Structure 1
Amino acid sequence: MVRTVAHLYPWDVVGDPAAVERVASLGVDAVALAASYHTVRAATPFHPEHRLVDARHAAFYLPVREEVWRGKRLVPAEPSWVDGPDTYGAASAALRAAGLPVYAWTVLTHSSRLGEANPDLVVRNAFGDRYPYALCPANDDVVDYARTLVSEVLELGRPDGVVLEACGPLGFFHGGHHEKTDGADWSPVQQKLLSLCFCAACAERHPDPDGLRAAVRAGVDRGAGSVEEALGERAGQVRDVRTGISRDLRRELVGLVRAADPRVRVAVHATADPWGTGPFATVAGGVDADVDVLTLTCWPGVDASLPAIRALRAEAGGTRTAAYVLALPPRPADGEELLAEWLACAEAGVEEFHLYHAGLASGPRLDALRHAVAGIGKALGDG
């Protein structure tokens, strides 16, 4: 039974002979290894050759095969900051040799590089502002990109599972570098309104896109109390469009995985919020796909996470739920405190824990994770 999954980047393992043993010592049941990932500057506190990796753009950590991607509008970039075309494969082989199952952590619609090169395929808000990091899956080219990405992960990576992140449209949240938007004091409702997409493909799905755009803009500027208040009688139709885009992409990609290899475990980053816009795509209205586990973020802490857990379980239809838990700041390097948070999540119905992040954590933070993993195993009957 899977209880705990540690997240890693390929560069955490490649070139570090001690990395696999260090991760295995946490006692986790599996590793989620980045196969496709967005821009990041990452610490590597234990690596014998470096202390930072500057991944300057979204990239694919498996070979980008020209014969597969030829003629497609969206093609993933290769990473120049790692050695070799298949660091995912090298890291995966090392982890699996130690008996650790490997899940391919696959980020789908988050790519500033592709968005900047294809501005008509990104999320565009009611004011006309484009979010270049947010590919909009209302567009066929974006769906084709996601399909090909997952197909290549399955064929080249041969993973034990896949983790689908950003399996839907992103929005205002989870955005750009050197973010300077906090001073606008936009509420969560305003941010959700700023996340509604009016790219050409989305606009076609609304009977009156100009009227809807005006309603959204007015809702942002007057500080509407809810998305429904801002949209009025349009709210139900807009909600159906938004949840439908995510549902269609989820159904397409999970169906692809099942057809390729039914043994591969499928985890999807998810939220029950129909207006959710981050890398945790909405499953409001039903999952409608053969998913093994829905993973929701519990980074905001227990008080904020418990209602979200209950809401997701209400939408899950019996699908297993996992908590995406943070071992980095502002969480303390305190195993007892981490365990207490995890136990509260388990009490609310969470059945497994996805740990962020075994490669970024310091020694004391790894010790805290080790303590919490052992404790949650005993509490849930695996110890």
Structure 2
Amino acid sequence: MQHIAGLFLQKLQGTLDSAAATELEQWLSAQSAENRAFYTSMTSWTEIEEALHQFYQIDETAAWNDVWQRIGQESPKTSPAIRPIWIRRTAAAAAVLLLVGLGTGWWLHRKTVINSTIPPMASLGDTNVVPGGNKATLQLADGSVIVLDSAANGALSQQGNTLVRKEKEGALSYESLSPRPDTALVYNKVSTPRGGQYQVVLPDGTKVWLNAASSLRYPTAFNGNERSVELTGEAYFEVAANATKHFKVTVASSQHTPMQLEVLGTSFNIQAYGDEPVQAATLVTGKVNVVAGDQQALLIPGHEALLTRHSNRMQVQAADLDATLAWKNGLFYLQDANITDIMRQIARWYDVDVVYEGAIPQQFVGKIPRSMNLPDVLKILESTGWVHFRVEGKKITVQP
């Protein structure tokens, strides 16, 4: 998508050559009619600025400052009243990726009549629920618990011959203090709440990113011929290569068939939330063997093994890596997603409860930054005209 967004930017800037223009046209022709209309609108300065204005519904200064912040640039100091048009258009060009990321669901609100009997999000009161962040607890071998988001950086504890450190906000690491391994395995466990995420660097150098409502149990030193950890929820792994010690992940879920992954050095994602209908192991690089009961599958990069709830049958298929890794890259990725799929993600990330009043049959397409406050996310979804929300504290009622 970044490559396609780059072609849109070139078209906006008048630098698109004939070969790139053909590529863009071929890509557009493969999209649905709604998608084509949306993406075509992103080649018009007027449409872009109107979209930004309607999305923010606030003054121009705040809108453009937020766009600059989202694209990692410092906002120009020029007063908006006298800001040259080229500065505004430079920002608009850079904002294309943001608007494309919001997707057709956001764009369609300008083409849809909202049901006037349901109060819009703005009338639901001040419900400024902020997004999740780096929150987790560390359970040590003796059962004591350290709240990591409030702990100071630096050494936290010594577990056997291993020093546990909080390196920076949202990261935990382990450092061996002796060349001699511990004789007995000592286990730690990192757990993220709803609305939390955390990164752990294991004793062998393997990096693990935990999504919300997840946990990882592991030894503070990997002895013997195997490196074994236990996961609940969702995590992305970048396994340190070691040809003499296989890395094994055991996935625990009361709602799914137990799953194990065996690797040497590779990167992959595991999603095993108990409230999700499907459990998935997705390989990004390297090679991994997935075992579930008496079945196993050797995955190649770009493929995933799926287990449906209460099913003993494993299915292997090509994976959408953008969708799988969206959470790690700070996005909600909606690809023909129904509202219950979306709201499960929202419930975990914003630590809210969701109830339903009526069915919403439509499917949603688009990407929404997880850094947005909850009202902004709900406003984007409401803008389709397909769904409305009533928010009372931490409870969200979903209505057609």
TM normalised by structure 1 equals: 0.28
Higher strand share: 2
> Considering only CA atoms, is the larger Rg found in Structure 1 or Structure 2?
2
TM normalised by structure 2 equals: 0.27
